[in-house]
Amino acid sequence: MATVNADVTKTHDCKPTLTDQEVIDFCKNGYIMLKQIVPGQINRQTTAYLDEHPEGEPQGILNEEWFVDAVIENPGVSGVVRSLLGADFKLPVIMSNHRISCPRQWPCGWHRDVGAIDSPRLETLQVFYYPQDTPCELGPTQLIPGTHMLHAKRRFMSHYGAVRSAVSSEASAGSIFITHYGIWHRATTATGTGIRNLLKYNYWRTASPVRDWITETEPDFTQMDFSPFGGALDKHFAVQVARQFMWLCGYGEDFDFKGGQSWPMNAGAGCQSAEGLPPQLARMAGK
């Protein structure tokens, strides 16, 4: 079958839809799930297309106007991508389909995809689209919230098995989940029957990071809570979350964690101290 190349220079822009808190939540969790965001007709059309093009990389679908409009440039998805990657983000040029025939045993362990980097930078997003209902029986991907911050070798994760905090991406048709590329995830065993499609593709940043999502005019960075999941896990995680948030805001060069109780360890509701916060942000907060 002839390979059809997508336009590698194509970008997209739209209004951002995330707030400060939602951007911080993405930095904490490493993913956002948008349930049933693609219309049913498009899900059926996509499934029919994938039945006609069962290859692992159905590139041609990126040239289908109906697919680009409703999935790749879906307003709900684009608003999130615009918030996290900035203006004029670059559209996917490679389309992969994790198409499986169920039932399927799958011993694939926890892993990050090849190319994951450990950095506060956020240059790309990995996105998954389920064009059909995908309950546990059809082997949805599992991921572990917050593990995009976990720097470990795969062999040290293999014993994890079932992790209590793992989240299944089981979802109804038309659901899309947007992930940090470095999040730890795994395929799961499918006990049902039939074909399951799971499309996977990436968006890229073209703009320098700047805090231009939905913002308050005079933000108080000392009141922002970077603690993971109610503060139950390693507090140092808060520093990594704050570092990524600072980078996204365009203050990546200005934040240097001072240790101890300095910001962001002291951040959160009722905090009076701006110690450790970059000076220009302390001034913005009037502290």
**Whose Cβ is closer to Fe ion: residue 129's or residue 213's?**
129
Q: How far is the CB of 111 from Fe ion (least distance, A)?
A: 6
Q: How far is the CB of 44 from Fe ion (least distance, A)?
A: 27
> Angle between the 20-29 and 75-85 helix axes, to the nearest 10 degrees?
80
**Whose Cβ is closer to Fe ion: residue 200's or residue 243's?**
200
Return the closest-CA partner of residue 190 out of 135, 143, 138.
Answer: 138
**Whose Cβ is closer to Fe ion: residue 113's or residue 275's?**
113
**Whose Cβ is closer to Fe ion: residue 198's or residue 274's?**
198
For the chain, the first-to-last Cα distance in angstroms comes to 63
**Whose Cβ is closer to Fe ion: residue 48's or residue 94's?**
94
Residue nearest to Fe ion (CB): 113
Q: How far is the CB of 8 from Fe ion (least distance, A)?
A: 23
Q: How far is the CB of 185 from Fe ion (least distance, A)?
A: 6
Binding site for Fe ion (CB under 5 A): 113
Q: How far is the CB of 126 from Fe ion (least distance, A)?
A: 9
**Whose Cβ is closer to Fe ion: residue 43's or residue 141's?**
141
Q: How far is the CB of 157 from Fe ion (least distance, A)?
A: 13
